[in-house]
Structure 1
């Protein structure tokens, strides 16, 4: 894999997030070095990842959104042994831990709903030590700043980022990167 995940994210802070083949193909026109894959199934995920790797990009698979995986650790083993993915994204502690054990990059995704969510982020990320945490929605600059101050782990802001202003506010608040399905933002 070469560079650390942090170095790759720092180099290009807009992460193309794809949810279908059409957006996957469009992502290759962008400068994004990392592609978050939010679609596929157990039968086609390897070929989707191969397409990303053919373009020289870092392939990160959101295991919670791949049909046929049931949230267990064995899904991470499948990704490691049967595909060329660089890493995984998950909301599940066991999957993040397993990815780290297997030498894959791991992004731990959290939904920030209330102050209890903030405490959960602190506790879970301290235990799992993912490469990055991703917080959703990503349009909360004050909350992003609070999480960044409390973490030593890089923060990615994702979800509901609609325009350049949202991107700039998230980055200004301390997020290392943003992830978005908004294709026009891949080119800013």
Structure 2
């Protein structure tokens, strides 16, 4: 697992997830935020977005599924590696995780836990895909997170609906290594 990514999450388990330029500006001013999940942008702007995050001394993780103009194929990962200073990727696509690992990028495999079938998918894929972290959404489900953390070896990030100190503490107490949130107040906890 990527030590720098792990160390940054250990230093501060709150990850800023940014969905617009205002979010980006706000999180870059917060010294304690160490990792930023980029949830917006396009093929023309992603390099500059990453550059701002890196200039603020933070790790930049690009959610490749949400970047306009990037295809959901391995070539998109090569593009990010060759044309930005991104530290890693977030995706729901296992094939993109494999490619990113080959290119020595940090990886987060995102799962939407909509039902028990989605939950079981994590176990099926954990033996073929080896992300640095998995992110589960919604993250405000302490019982589910606790069960998941006890059954898999990959560290868990809880994201989605993390809106206050109670939801942060609930996820972390349940065993999540970190939380990601778009909520500016959560970033300041």
TM over 0.5: yes
Map 1:24-173; keep pairs closer than 5 Å: 24-30=24-30, 31-173=32-174
Q: Is the 8 A contact 2:140 2:160 kept in 1?
A: yes
What TM-score do the two structures reach when normalised by structure 2? Answer: 0.96
CA apart distance, 1:186: 0.4
Please list every run of 5 or more consecutive structure 1 residues that lacks an aligned counterpart in the other structure.
none
CA apart distance, 1:69: 1.0
Q: Is the 8 A contact 2:60 2:87 kept in 1?
A: yes
CA apart distance, 1:28: 1.4
Please list every run of 5 or more consecutive structure 2 residues that lacks an aligned counterpart in the other structure.
none
**Cα deviation code 1:128-155 (max 9, x no counterpart):** 1100000000000000011101111100
Partner Cα distance (1:109, 1:170) in 2: 16
Runs of 4+ in structure 1 displaced over 3 angstroms? none
Cα RMSD of the aligned pairs, angstroms, is 1.0
What TM-score do the two structures reach when normalised by structure 1? Answer: 0.97
Tell me the number of residue pairs that the alignment of Structure 1 and Structure 2 aligns.
Answer: 187
Residue number in structure 2 paired with 1:5: 5
Residue number in structure 1 paired with 2:19: 19
